[in-house]
Structure 1
Amino acid sequence: MLDVTVIEDADAAAASLDPVRARLLAELAAGPASAAMLAGKVGLPRQKVNYHLKTLERHGLVELAGERRKGNVTERLMRATAASYVISPVALAAVQPDPDRFRDQLSARWLLALGARLVRDVGSLITGATKARKRLATYALDGEVRFASAADRAAFVQELTAGVSALVRKYDAPDAEEGRDHRIVVALHPTVKDQPTPPTPLVEK
């Protein structure tokens, strides 16, 4: 099972967003289970659970983990293909954010557009690397800092911009025929405190 995978297909995204199927994905991320086992956990008839599992399987969100005999019935044990999922903006191709439409380093919405492009691009790279059975070379840095004042924050941004710009100028080789372009995204935003996730109500469909 992958730790996280990207959903690029619109129909797969719609399937994952259904409250019942999202709950089933969460249960199957914890371990393989059959429709009968899941029925008791989510409070739905086995036939209804089986219908949702087949939909998730058709979109590659769950897969067969094994089979077992139970009386005269062979139960299919299903598992989630990943512990968590991210929906790529590719799933909403016609309305996906485009950070090239405007550029404002102080705009939270531009930062959001950059983040969406990051999800789209890295998701596509992961998909391609998986098909080619190659490792994808990436790097990420994550951290938190508490600024004593708005002035300190502004000074930090200024130094960060100067430092990253200097590194770009130092290592950028636009004429290198064997080189490969890389994108750099640096973001700064207030920390969001974690909030408890409310239980998802299930509505039988």
Structure 2
Amino acid sequence: MLDVAVIDDPAAAGVSLDPVRAQLLAHLAEPGSASTLAPRAGLSRQKINYHLRALERHGLVELVEERRKGNCTERVLRATAASYVISPAALPAVAPDPDRSRDQLSARWLLALAARMVREVGELMAGASAARKRLATFAVDTEIRFASAADRAEFAAELSRTVAALAAEYHTEKAERGRDHRLVIALHPSLKDHAVPGGRTTRAAGDGTTTEEP
């Protein structure tokens, strides 16, 4: 089982978004059958089998083993991944294009970059898996508390200068055996949940603004 799998097929994406099937995928992090899943999902074994066949048809679950029980055969299945991400490739006609409007200060451009990363890394993962090779990637994740918007702007400017200098130092245009790599760096306010009276949740951003959710 993979830790994360990227869904790029529109039909598979539609199947995974069905609430019942999404619940079954979560249950099938551990192997199970229609008989074991029926009481957990509150559905009949026949309905569970119907949903499992759809998930298996689109490669979201896989057969682990078959057990003979009298005149019946119990099929034990497992999800192909612990979690799934739907690639923008599943909606190619409306997939965001970061080249359409390049704006370093735009949250929408940031989302377009993130969407492209999901699509490209998903395709690379599929290719590396087929070739039985390890995909060379690197990521950094951290949080910074800025004292002011001015400090945040200065940090962004200094980071841009540093990255540009590093890229210029290591980029070799004519390296015969070289391979191009894409580098994306993102900065956005952190989300922190705070419970408030009345059963609502305020979601506070790192810049002090809040939004209220039902």
Cα deviation code 1:52-85 (max 9, x no counterpart): 0000001000001112233432211110000000
Distance in 2, matches of 1:98 and 1:136, equals 24
TM alignment of 1:87-106, pairs within 5 A = 87-106=86-105
What's 2:2 paired with?
2
What's 2:116 paired with?
117
Q: Secondary structure at the match of 1:4?
A: strand
Aligned residues: 195
Flag the 1:126–1:39 CA change in 2: closer, same or farther, 3 A. same
Distance in 1, matches of 2:121 and 2:193, equals 25
Q: Secondary structure at the match of 2:99?
A: helix
What's 1:11 paired with?
11
What's 1:26 paired with?
26
What's 1:202 paired with?
none
The structure richer in helix per residue is 1
TM-score of the superposition, structure 1-length normalised? 0.92
Structure 2's unaligned 5+ residue stretches are 196-214
The structure richer in strand per residue is 2
Distance in 2, matches of 1:194 and 1:112, equals 21
Aligned identity (percent) is 69
Letter in 1 for 2:4: V
TM-score of the superposition, structure 2-length normalised? 0.88
Distance in 2, matches of 1:117 and 1:194, equals 28
Distance in 2, matches of 1:79 and 1:98, equals 35
Corresponding position: 1:161 with 2:160: yes
Letter in 2 for 1:101: R
Cα deviation code 1:3-55 (max 9, x no counterpart): 001001000000000000000000001x1111011110011111010010000
- Higher relative contact order, structure no. (Cα contacts within 8 Å, ≥ 6 residues apart): 1
Structure 1's unaligned 5+ residue stretches are 197-205
Letter in 2 for 1:86: V
Corresponding position: 1:192 with 2:187: no
